[in-house]
Amino acid sequence: KCAFIIIKVRAFHKNLSSLALVLILQYAEPLIAKVISWPYETGLWTLKDFSLNFYFFISGFLKLHYAISMSNILLVVAIERSLACYFLNDYEKKNHDSG
């Protein structure tokens, strides 16, 4: 619901809105990882079969990706806001894409 509101309401610059949208959608990563790793945590599956190890690896990767992303969010937002301050005169009016 929050991601839908960010898409529809243009309260912030599109760069900050895009960052917020990506981070909100990343909240699904630990939920998906928990669902994937649940059979391992309950003992339903063991780590003997290679095909089941793949799901365990994917679950761990999702958890690690989420943790790294969330630990860097303050840096990413600070860089975006620093660029907004640097281009203060026309940041909200112009698109500063590379090229």
pLDDT 10s digits, 3-60: 777 777 777 777 778 888 888 888 889 999 999 999 888 988 887 766 668 888 999 9
Contacts of 38 (CB under 8 A, 6+ apart): 44
Contacts of 6 (CB under 8 A, 6+ apart): 17, 20, 21, 24
- In angstroms, the Cα distances linking 6 to 10, 16, 64, 74, 78 are 7, 10, 26, 19, 19
pTM given for the model: 0.65
